[in-house]
Amino acid sequence: MKRESHLESAPGTSPGTVRPGGRTAKVRTAVLRATEEALATEGFHALNMDRIAGDAGVGKTTVYRRWGSPTGLVADLLRDMAERSVPASDTGSLEEDLRANAGLVTGTLTDPRMGPVFRAVIAAAACDEECATALRGFYETRLGTWAAAVSRAVDRGEAPPGTDPVEVVRAVSAPLYYRFAVSHEPLTAADGERAAAAALAATRAGVFAPRRPAPGTPGA
Amino acid sequence: MKRESHLESAPGTSPGTVRPGGRTAKVRTAVLRATEEALATEGFHALNMDRIAGDAGVGKTTVYRRWGSPTGLVADLLRDMAERSVPASDTGSLEEDLRANAGLVTGTLTDPRMGPVFRAVIAAAACDEECATALRGFYETRLGTWAAAVSRAVDRGEAPPGTDPVEVVRAVSAPLYYRFAVSHEPLTAADGERAAAAALAATRAGVFAPRRPAPGTPGA
């Protein structure tokens, strides 16, 4: 599993940037890379605007004016991570796509660099509303991307009609994040396999399809 | 759903206390209630030893000597919460027991008092190893308590032999904590029902029973 395998390798060009390769984009890339490095090595509560400016080789006034606060840095890093999201797998099998998703999440959370970054942003979101909103946006993007794989499976008849694709992807991620961020238990590839298998079994049983009585069902 | 419905109402008598109603236990109760109040209203990073001592009506030196640091307070609060855990439900039906567990977790996390307390301890655990260890211990107790309900269901033949009871209970909690602490999405009773149904479907499909070929299975 590659280090930042859920992200495109080309970093930091924001949709609002006038010249994608221009100075504004380069400043953003440098500042966000310094932010990620600080989160990975020291966590959210050591995040310091002056030091990020120094590490990025950017003027302090620029960093304060553009990002405002450490939470502003975290929020923009999460937007950048969402923008760099790579497409979901498309193996032609729901089981294989869910296993790929579980492997990606497990690999990211156990990665020596990205694990601490995720731990830091989850902590930041627990303390700060702006970070929480940014984290919600990040997962909305990630869940939406992988929901496409489930939608294709519904179209192929591999999952019941009416299955909520996002709910299936949440079901794969949830047990992995639970171990990582809530119960602080070890997280292994076997946990990923189990999460994918559990989500698949629940999907096949119709748990993620809204319960609507079939037309003409007596008394329903 | 009652406010602290997963805890006994009598607070703070620790197994190691010589006289359960004595001064040591009373000091602990007062300090832990003040800690919980501070976490509920201001979060982990505002936790201040001097203020906790003042709020609890206990000498500062006692608080510093006995708890050492804010993380020491959080760790002891988590031990206290684990000690006050109430038994799992025992309805005679796995489905009803899992629904009761999901309702309890959902009720606790959406409770106006306990929700912020859990958010605060999850943030503390993300930043501090002592808090992480204490939180792991808390969930070990809670998961173990509810695993008993699943074990009874296995004995009744409601779940496949060899089902890992703790894994079933984790599967119920995980999607609820994922919304609460990771994706920061709304958490409702419907999410609890879906989490219980998904865990039940995966249990029935044998996902939480170790895959061992049946004796005599050819080629297995």
- What local confidence, expressed as pLDDT, does residue B5 receive? 43
**Shortest Cα–Cα distance, A122 to chain B (Å):** 6
Average pLDDT, chain A: 89
Q: Is the pLDDT of residue A22 over 90?
A: no
pLDDT tens profile B76-102: 999 999 988 888 999 999 999 999 999
Q: How many Å apart are CA A130 and CA A128, to the nearest integer? A: 6
CA distances from A125 to A74, A157, B12, B120, B126 (A): 9, 38, 30, 11, 11
| Selected residue of A177, A179, A183, A187 to mutate for chain B interface (largest B Cβ count, 10 A) | A183
Question: Structure tokens of B130?
Answer: 């002592």
Which phi-psi region, left, alpha or beta, contains residue A162 (left: φ > 0; alpha: ψ -120 to 50)?
left
Q: What does pTM read for this prediction?
A: 0.88
Tell me the residues of A at the B interface, defined by beta carbons under 8 Å apart.
43-45, 119-120, 122-123, 125-127, 132-133, 135-136, 139-140, 143, 167, 170-171, 173-175, 177-179, 181-185, 194, 197-199, 201-202, 204-205, 207-208
- What local confidence, expressed as pLDDT, does residue A214 receive? 55
Q: Is the pLDDT of residue B4 over 70?
A: no
Tell me the residues of B at the A interface, defined by beta carbons under 8 Å apart.
43-45, 119-120, 122-123, 125-127, 132-133, 135-136, 139-140, 143, 167, 170-171, 173-175, 177-179, 181-185, 194, 197-199, 201-202, 204-205, 207-208
